[in-house]
A and B are shown apart, each in its own frame.
Chain A
């Protein structure tokens, strides 16, 4: 089945540690995205990537880093510099921009700092 997979579903991190969230898609999509969602709130864009080896900061990139070494994969690292990392993280992918189609989302990773 084609789709977008995030892992793990739940993640616990100690304060001061970096942690990496995985996102893989087999939809052959060019673009991939990371959003953060806090309880009862909307989606805020962290980073997005339009093609391999390219990515742009979104609205809340501070304390996060990404890489796009392969088309299928767009891992997000939450660094110790992120002051309030506990949140629900959503990854999405999208086809060619000229086609103007919807983004497909993974099922999310819930990160808790303990």
Chain B
């Protein structure tokens, strides 16, 4: 979605709990989705991706769910740790095109 003028929503989670970060994507033609983690003052880092022929993909402590019907992505982080505190962005892309569109982002705060 459009991020101009919008400040990041914040999700506060207790250490050890699971986190769920949501993202609504804009283009029904998008077929590739990526989650990035951005720590303060640094560039975004790749976490996990998913293609539109899948509903779910798991990584280490992270799971991405894709619901194409409602154009929704979620990132689940298991057993959230203080090092998970960061801003998380989803991004979408159409295969064969180079424009990558980012969502608004969510700030995750982990409470020790």
Contacts and interface: CB of A to CB of B under 8 A. Distances in A.
Interface of A: 6, 30-31, 33, 35, 40-45, 48, 50, 56, 58, 88, 90, 92, 94, 97-98, 100-108, 110
B43 A41 contact: no
A42 B100 contact: no
B50 to A, nearest CB: 11
Interface residues of B, dominant DSSP: loop
Given A42-B89, A100-B31, A50 B3 contact: no
B51 A100 contact: yes
A43 B46 CA distance: 15
B95 A42 contact: no
Top 4 nearest A-B pairs (CB, nearest first) are A42-B3, A105-B43, A31-B98, A43-B102
B15 interface: no
B103 to A, nearest CB: 7
Given A42-B103, A43-B102, A102-B49, A97 B43 contact: no
Contact of A42 (B31, B43, B105): B105
Interface stretch (B4-12, B60-68, B72-80): B4-12
Contacts of A88: 41
A38 B41 CA distance: 11
Contacts of B7: 40-41
Contact of A97 (B44, B97, B101): B97
B58 interface: no
A109 B45 CA distance: 16
A93 to B, nearest CB: 10
B89 A100 contact: no
Contacts of A107: 42-43
